[in-house]
Structure 1
């Protein structure tokens, strides 16, 4: 199968028939074999009924319905698990993403060799204050922190090589950082394409201002897990040792000053409490890293790694090998 299209949605009953027909026209015109997964994220309108009707008319259309609203990340994660296409395209259901972009996004993966291509809505039709300005700030911050240079990290229109979406897991608000997650999983060839952004035709936006706070916290989580997920002691142990050392130096200075230079009571000086605080915080950070190491080393996936290729030139097992294997173990 050439392409899997994943469409997460909530309360988009009006736009779905038009979107499905548009995708079908594009796929037929380019002779793609395809499937469309429409993921209903707890809609309260008749979106699921519309999906059922569309699936009855077009066997390429498939659906998943959540019992309640779990969020876009959950919808994408379920779509990634279900997708079977060589290239996976994600797009929003509100008709602001154009299916006409699909052929070029597919070509960039299959011919140009990209692992992931993100759309860039260079010209937007959103409110400049509530969406455009925060989006620019978000993209600037994410690029600085992650090193993934994209103009529109949160664009819903993206294409992926199949092995990318089968190697990552998204939850919370982490769908905004899929390129960052892909990078930390070793997929380095990440590109972008200028795509058409259309004004919303039906309904209203489903995202509020709280996404910026949640998004920042999820970025911090991704950065920590990507760098220190399997070695938390390297972060907390280093910070704890540094803090404890600073506190110890302050305490040593105070002790020397007390003994040799003055008779002032150490507990009357604020510097004494600063040194004490640094040593306490340092000890706590070090113990946090130690506990994190214990948890990591006992985790069932502590040695789970993504293997890109494997070469095995092992010789076939001979009769002599089998006879040796049946000898009793005489090691002390």
Structure 2
């Protein structure tokens, strides 16, 4: 199979028929073998009924329905697991991504041998204050921390070599940083393509202000995990040593001061509490931080989701 199109969605019943027809037309015109995987992330409208109706008309359409809302990362994780195409293309269901971009995204993976190609919505129709400016800040921070030179890290329109989506694990809200996950997994050829951004035709945006805080925390998390998941003591050990040395030096100063000055009171000095706190923090970094990270990285239920129904997927 040439292409798997993975589409996570939440309450997009109005746009699904038009989006599906558009994708089908592009596939026919280019003679691709394909599948369309819709992942209904706990919609409260009639999105799943629309997907089932579309599936009855076209066996290339497949569907996954979550029992409740888990988020875009969970939807992409399940879509990636189900995908069978040599190239996997992700896009949003709101018609703001153009399926006409599919042939070039496919060509860049197959012919130019990119591992991942990310879309760049150079001209956007979003609210500048609430979306564009924060997006530019996050993209700049991510470029600096990850070393990946992409203008629009979180663009929903991307194409992947199948090996990439089968090698990475998207969880929490890490969908914003899939290129970073791919890089840490060893896929270095990451490209970018300017893509069309269309005005929303149906429904409402799912954008919320909580994305700003979550996005920053996820960036810190993925940077740490990418660099230190296989050698966490390189992080915890260094900072543990730093704090432990501070505590030891402060303690040594207090002890020497007491030796040379009998009237010197150790426990009444701020340095005593600084030394004590530094020693405790240093030990905690070695023990609790290291152990907690290992536990969280190996949690067996991190990607377990309740799927209510599937269509066309074994």
Superposition misfits of 4+ residues, deviation over 6 angstroms: 296-300
CA distance in 1, matches of 2:98, 2:7: 12
CA distance in 2, matches of 1:150, 1:223: 16
Equivalence for 1:24: 24
Query: What SS is found at the alignment partner of 1:268?
Result: coil
Equivalence for 2:305: none
- Report deviation, 1:299: 9.2
- Report deviation, 1:68: 1.1
Q: Where do 5+ consecutive residues of structure 1 fail to align?
A: 301-332
Q: Where do 5+ consecutive residues of structure 2 fail to align?
A: 301-314
Aligned length: 300
Query: What SS is found at the alignment partner of 2:62?
Result: strand
CA distance in 2, matches of 1:299, 1:52: 34
RMSD: 2.0
1:14-34 per-residue CA deviation (whole Å, 9 max, x = no partner) reads 111110111111111111111
Q: Normalising by the residue count of structure 1, what TM-score does the alignment of the two structures yield?
A: 0.86
> Retained in 2: the 8 A contact 1:41–1:65?
yes
- Report deviation, 1:245: 0.8
Distance 1:299 1:138, change over 3 A: closer
Equivalence for 2:165: 165
- Report deviation, 1:211: 1.5
Query: What SS is found at the alignment partner of 1:206?
Result: coil
- Report deviation, 1:273: 1.6
Equivalence for 2:217: 217
- Report deviation, 1:165: 0.1
Query: What SS is found at the alignment partner of 1:199?
Result: coil
Range with bigger deviation, 154-163 or 29-38: 29-38
Equivalence for 1:65: 65
Range with bigger deviation, 134-143 or 180-189: 134-143
- Report deviation, 1:207: 2.3
CA distance in 2, matches of 1:125, 1:100: 18
Matching of residue 279 in structure 1 with residue 267 in structure 2: no
- Report deviation, 1:151: 0.5
1:32-80 per-residue CA deviation (whole Å, 9 max, x = no partner) reads 1111011111111111111111111122111111111111111111100
Higher CA-based Rg:
1
Query: What SS is found at the alignment partner of 1:205?
Result: coil
Matching of residue 247 in structure 1 with residue 247 in structure 2: yes
Equivalence for 1:322: none
- Report deviation, 1:233: 2.0
